Amino acid sequence: MLRKRLFFSILTFLISASLHAELPENLEGTWKLDSLGTSELYRNSPNWDAKKEHYLGEIIDYIGRYTFTFTGDKLERHFYREVLTWELNLIEKDSSVFTFNAIKHDGAKQEVQITKMGNELIHIRIGKDDNYRLCAWRKQAPVVKTEPEPPLSLEQLLEKMKEEEERGTKKI
């Protein structure tokens, strides 16, 4: 009995690991709203009319404050200081759609679906509400963190001041 349980645990782990291994590497990272793609999706929706066109800029400005970050098997949604997280477990994929069972930070279970829209954009659907149904998301370039320069010592600071003073007096 113990061997069967161990066998099924290992099998489940291997299947899960193989699904995670098949995630596209380019999905990992931070995704921001693509204004042009989102505008196009809104304008092509069946419920779109001239009255709504007036508010499109405000809608995009508001939704543009959200970012989504994929790291490993986790999805984070950032909105100002609020961060919501989902643990992701890939259950189905085809060439352009990835479906996950997800556990929200509060323990609630939801389905998360990522759909590739061409080479650079994705669509994100979380749960049944699909609040982002007309949003296109573009991957943000990674932020390169540079080491801050160490502060100058007193001797270095005095030397720098002396050099600047000498340059200033030469100009006169």
Cα–Cα distances (Å) from 1 to 5, 7, 15, 114, 140, in that order, read 6, 10, 21, 39, 50
State the CATH number of the domain containing residue 94: 2.40.128
pLDDT score of 11? 41
pLDDT score of 172? 53
pLDDT score of 166? 76
pLDDT score of 62? 92
In a domain, 98, yes or no: yes
pLDDT in tens, 98-111: 888 888 878 888 89
In a domain, 16, yes or no: no
pLDDT score of 61? 92
In a domain, 13, yes or no: no
pLDDT score of 169? 62
Which portions of the chain are predicted below pLDDT 70?
1-25, 130, 143, 167-172
Alpha-helical segments (H) within the chain: 2-21, 35-43, 50-53, 56-63, 154-171
pLDDT score of 24? 57
In a domain, 171, yes or no: no
In a domain, 51, yes or no: yes
In a domain, 5, yes or no: no
Alpha-carbon span 40 to 36, nearest angstrom: 6
pLDDT score of 36? 92
* Structural domain that includes position 56: 24-156
What pTM was estimated for this model as a whole?
0.66
Query: What is the Cβ-side half-sphere exposure of residue 111, based on CA atoms within 13 angstroms?
Result: 9
Structural domain count, the chain: 1
In a domain, 161, yes or no: no
In a domain, 104, yes or no: yes
